């Protein structure tokens, strides 16, 4: 079994956990129950998401979610304070986009696990 594919699976699983945390922060912003520590953690989380994104996208070619979709979504959420001042319709839009990206990452993870199970050592759509 390829150590590289195992590492990529682990990286993708960690990235999915970050997406779960992103949604948690959207929910605490909606409830207006956050402090400065939460703001700091939210900013750090967005940095981790952006960095992980580059690592994963450098290893494999991903059709969906696109890097632009992810960066755009993160850009719509500059801070918890900003999110807390959004209207419900805007927050639902963010959640809808978040969910599409979240499901996309699970699809990619499933594809990687199939490769792992089949003992394949090459990545699908690997960038040259």
**Domain range list for the chain:** 3-117
Model confidence over 12-25: pLDDT tens digits?
999 999 999 999 99
Q: Counting beta carbons within 10 angstroms of the beta carbon of residue 18, is it exposed (0 to 12), middle (13 to 18) or buried (19 or more)?
A: middle
Residue 63 has a pLDDT of: 87
Question: Token pair for residue 60?
Answer: 């494999």
Domain 3-117 has CATH 1.10.8: no
Residue 1 has a pLDDT of: 47
Count of alpha carbons within 13 angstroms of residue 3, beta-carbon side:
0
Task: State the pTM of this model.
Answer: 0.87
Model confidence over 62-120: pLDDT tens digits?
888 999 999 999 999 999 999 999 999 999 999 999 999 999 999 999 999 998 998 87
CA–CA dist 89, 105 (Å, integer): 25
């Amino acid at each position: 079994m390829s150590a590289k594919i195992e590492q990529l699976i682990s990286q993708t699983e960690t990235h999915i956990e970050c997406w779960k945390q992103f949604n948690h922060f959207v929910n605490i912003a909606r409830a207006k129950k956050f402090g400065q520590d939460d703001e700091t953690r939210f900013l750090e989380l967005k940095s981790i998401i952006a960095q992980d994104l580059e690592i994963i996208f450098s290893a494999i070619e991903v059709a969906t979610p696109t890097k632009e979709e992810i960066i755009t979504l993160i850009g719509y959420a500059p801070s918890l304070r900003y999110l807390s001042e959004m209207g419900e319709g805007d927050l639902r839009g963010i959640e809808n986009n978040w969910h599409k990206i979240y499901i996309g990452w699970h699809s990619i993870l499933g594809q990687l696990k199939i490769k792992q199970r089949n003992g394949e050592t090459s990545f699908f759509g690997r960038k040259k």
